[in-house]
A and B are shown apart, each in its own frame.
Chain A
Amino acid sequence: MPKVKETEILIVGGGPAGLSAASAAANLGASVLVLERDGKPGGQLIKQTHKFFGSKKQYAGDRGYQIGDLLIEQCGNNPNVEVWTDTTALGIYEDGVVTAEGQAKHLKINPKKIIVATGASEKMIAFPNNDLPGIYGAGAVQTLMNVHGIVPGKRVLMIGAGNIGLIVSYQLMQAGVEIAAIIEAAPTIGGYLVHASKIQRAGVPILTSHTITEAYGDESVAGAIICKLDESWQPVSGSEQDLKVDVICLAVGLSPLTELCFQADCQMKYVSELSGHVPVRNEYLETTRPGLYVAGDVSGVEEASSAMVEGRLAGISAACSLGYGEDIAPKLQAEALAELSELRAGPAGQKTLRGIMNLMDKGGAVC
Chain B
Amino acid sequence: MGIGLKGRSLKELLEESRELYEKTGYYYGMKDLKLKDEDPFKYERFYWRMVSASISARETVKYIAASPTVREYMELIFGIYTPEGDAIALSTGIMVHVHTMSSFIKYLIENDYENDPGIKEGDIFVTNETWSGGVHTADILTVIPIFHEGQLIGWAGGVTHELEVGAHEHGSMTIFAPERFSEGHHVSAEKVGENDKFYKHYMLRLKYATRMPNELILDEKARLAGCILIREEVKKIIEEFGFEYYIQAIREVIEDGRREFISRLKERLVPGRYRGYVHLATPFKDIPYIHPIARRDTFIHSPIEVNIQREGRIRLSFEGASKWGYFPYNCTPSAMDGGLWIATVQLLSYDGKVNDGSHLCVEQELPRGSVVNTDFPFAATSITWGFLIPAYAVYGMLISIGLFSRGYLEEVFLPSAGNSLMNFGGVDIQGEIGAFSVFEMAANQSGARAILDGIDCGYAIWNPEADQGNAELYEYLGPILWVNRRFIPDAHGYGMYRGGNGWASLWLISGALRYTLSCYGHGVKTGYIKGLFGGYPGPAWFSIKISGLDISDLIKEFGHIPTSISEIQRLYRKYPNNVEISRTALWADLKNGDIVGLFYTGGTGYGDPLDRDPQLVKEDYINGVISLETAEKVYGVVIEREGGEWTVNYDETRRLREEKRRERLDRGVPVKNWWLEERERILKKELPEPIKEAYNQSLELSERFKEEFTEFWNLPREFRF
Real complex partners, A and B? no
Residues of B within 8 A of A (CB): none
